[in-house]
Amino acid sequence: MSNSANQTVNVISGLELSSSPHVHSKFTTQQVMWLVNLSLLPALISAAVFFGLYQLVVIGVSCAAAVLSEIVVKIIRKSEITIYDGSAFLTGLLLGLIIPPNFSLTSAAIGSAFAIIIGKELFGGLGFNIFNPALVGRAFLQAAYPVAMTTWSKPNFAVDTVTSATPLAAFKFDKVITGIEPLIIGNVGGSIGETSALAIIMGGVFLIGIKIVNWRIPLSMILGLILFGSIFWFIDPIKYPNPLFHLFSGGFLLGAFFMATDWVTSPYTSAGMWIYGLLISLIVVVIRLFGGLPEGVMYGILIMNAFVPLINRLTHPKIFGEAK
């Protein structure tokens, strides 16, 4: 068929033929990254309030190490410097929020560098990494500095009955269940930016509202955690904690809103997002209740990151006219 005939067909059918992508966001990648950074401001404020201004220094060192590591890698690879897109800064910020208060500045910098070099740039940079880089950095720190990564500080406004132990550790080893109110406010032990459920929810709702975060992943994780947590709670409410304790304690909400939702390492299909979120929550509950560690959010997300290509393949919509 001639070009003129093709054009006639296109005009008659009312179709405009063009190459992908066909779905566009109103935000650029740079805008998305800096908006996510901005959404973490409530968590930063809560960190300073409950654990002191020094935590901002720890987080700042983590961010600086991430940015400098990316610059060095780009120079070595003779690639374009892309630090202005905010992705390296975000990796450092997230890592700084999920390490213990008063953490060693040197160790924070090492973990942040590992997150960028191994978790991100080794795979080709932004858009190619398989695993969430900040969680890769935390997993490294967990293996390299196990004592430091499980040494917690007592919050500034703690009452006499509050210890420096995290609520999950207190339950795991002493069978003590922390009340819901301090978990929501953040006046409990834990990582620098994960203790205040209220602060995290504020940032997460903001991202959902401007359509940077797809609501299906955090909702599926929350529903999954409530479902799986309730099953064991109904079986034995004395032995197992109630689902609200699961929801507001530890790093679950920070992971649900800011890490599991990473565009690169999460499924792109609607059905895939539900499967992904539910399975993360299942892993979290199993580790918390039956594993040797009190927390399982990091491992739940990293494990399911590995299954994202398979989930995408199994849930990808069938192309019209595609042969079986």
Q: What is the pLDDT of residues 21-60, one digit of tens each?
A: 444 567 888 999 999 999 999 999 999 999 999 999 999 9
How deeply is 83 buried, as exposed, middle or buried, from its count of CB atoms within 10 A (0-12, 13-18, 19+)? middle
In 3D space, the residue among 185, 144, 148, 190 whose CA is nearest the CA of residue 170 turns out to be 190
pLDDT at 174: 85
Using CA atoms, how far apart are residues 205 and 57, in angstroms rounded to an integer?
Answer: 27
Structure token pair of residue 125: 């940079």
Under 8 Å between Cβ of 245 and 167: yes
Using CA atoms, how far apart are residues 101 and 291, in angstroms rounded to an integer?
Answer: 24
Under 8 Å between Cβ of 172 and 150: no
pLDDT at 26: 78
Can you tell me whether residue 282 is helix, strand or coil? helix
Using CA atoms, how far apart are residues 156 and 153, in angstroms rounded to an integer?
Answer: 9
pLDDT at 323: 58
pLDDT at 165: 82
Residue with the two structure tokens 């304790």: 245
Distances (CA, A) of 299 to 15, 17, 24, 183: 46, 43, 32, 22
Which parts of the chain sit beneath pLDDT 70?
Answer: 1-25, 158-164, 319-324
Using CA atoms, how far apart are residues 219 and 242, in angstroms rounded to an integer?
Answer: 18
Distances (CA, A) of 308 to 15, 167, 218, 305: 33, 31, 16, 5
Contacts of 190 (CB under 8 A, 6+ apart): 152, 166, 167, 250, 251
Distances (CA, A) of 114 to 67, 108, 136, 262: 12, 10, 8, 18
pLDDT at 6: 47
Using CA atoms, how far apart are residues 129 and 116, in angstroms rounded to an integer?
Answer: 10
Structure token pair of residue 85: 């897109």
Distances (CA, A) of 79 to 64, 74, 144, 236, 311: 20, 5, 30, 57, 32
pLDDT at 175: 87
